Structure 1
């Protein structure tokens, strides 16, 4: 048998120590590589935008300025604002912003688009405002008009809240089935958020998806509303519908029928838990901040909006 001669600078003890270290390093390096890969995979960069709801006791222009001041680049047309005559601090009685409503005129829509763009903001959605009582043909006509306005504004999403009255469920499902196809032809995505009634919890949401039965009808999850309307766990409720979620309305809630316009982390919503499930389902945003503690002034509200954005950014970086 021929033995390999050790280098003169290496005695037997040194050789054994070196060999053992190499074997150990070889054995554990996959663990280090796995940990490094896991660390690199942490965090997502989903778009974070802000709805205007927290500023609705002021004008829409105040809301746009506040959203920009809070560091957002993206907004959505959610809640109506009173209209203030130029130079007045008193709103015009009975008049509100039309946004993409059926009553909006081409001149209004053009001016609305410019008001948003001059702040350097993008806009991605509008809320559909409908009554679902009466002839279904009238409901469909009204919904289609709003989808047309969404297209005029180059919006990606049109959002419905569902319907609360069981006697109106059938009109809702029929009109949404028509709207999903109509919107798809115009490049608009029809989505529904949890809001009680026909969209209360995952059970009702799955039933609505089945009734509408169209691939252009998806869900914008709202964990705060799951707590508010049902008292259920929003992480557990997300499980059966996560694959259908294409957007997220961010708000917290302390308990069933309790306040939702609060700062993130003050309620029951486990944002990290929700986002982990969405990430696993392949979700890619957007996240739109809705719940913000309304301050006594726009400036206080702006500060709270900024804090909720930073909360989300930190949470998304950790998942």
Structure 2
């Protein structure tokens, strides 16, 4: 049987994606009750390759493997030959003969595609410059827990047309919701990613217009990891793209707010929004654990 990878959300079909969300909710409930020991990955090992650092990604994957009876190995560029120039193909061939599944958090999306091509075991995209699909599983799980199905709803994404935005575009296709993206000139999402989703995605300039009647409002930092030298210019460009009380007032009264974290209060979001009653960012962060457990289980079946 062919090895399944999870490099973007579109590696799933809609039925698989919905089943993953349902399974994540079940696993979360099971974990909270705490009366069942469930170890489907006992004696299995997850190799975690980090070229970009993270708090939530590392803790959620390591904890998930521990809950499932397996183990995780953390590998930074200092710990592997990848950081010393070994060809990606060679690293993939070697690592995939020693561990049972591999998670990679890196820069260029092409790098993880090449790694997966030569891997004998499933490869999970834990973030590239182009996509962040694991975060979207957690986001959709969070919406479903609070409001039910996201199908047919309106989601507003305000900010940079980055990896989070690209994954929201893919999610709109997969989970059948309408997406409005509000971003400044020069920071739009990749046109090649938008084009196949043109029936569900609208790119706008005005965040107030974009948030009218929204069921979910989402944002991300203005300068992502690796863009620190662009911070000043980005702050000027995104000055009018803050999620604040005025933006949330345009959305539906029961609209939720999400942010993948870490957040910069006073920049992309105000403190009263992220710490307010419509914010579900802490549930969203926790659900990285449960959504990824469902994903690990699915890929290792």
TM-score norm. by structure 2 comes to 0.30
Q: Which has the larger radius of gyration?
A: 1
Could you say which structure has the greater relative contact order, defined with CA pairs below 8 angstroms and 6 or more residues apart? 2
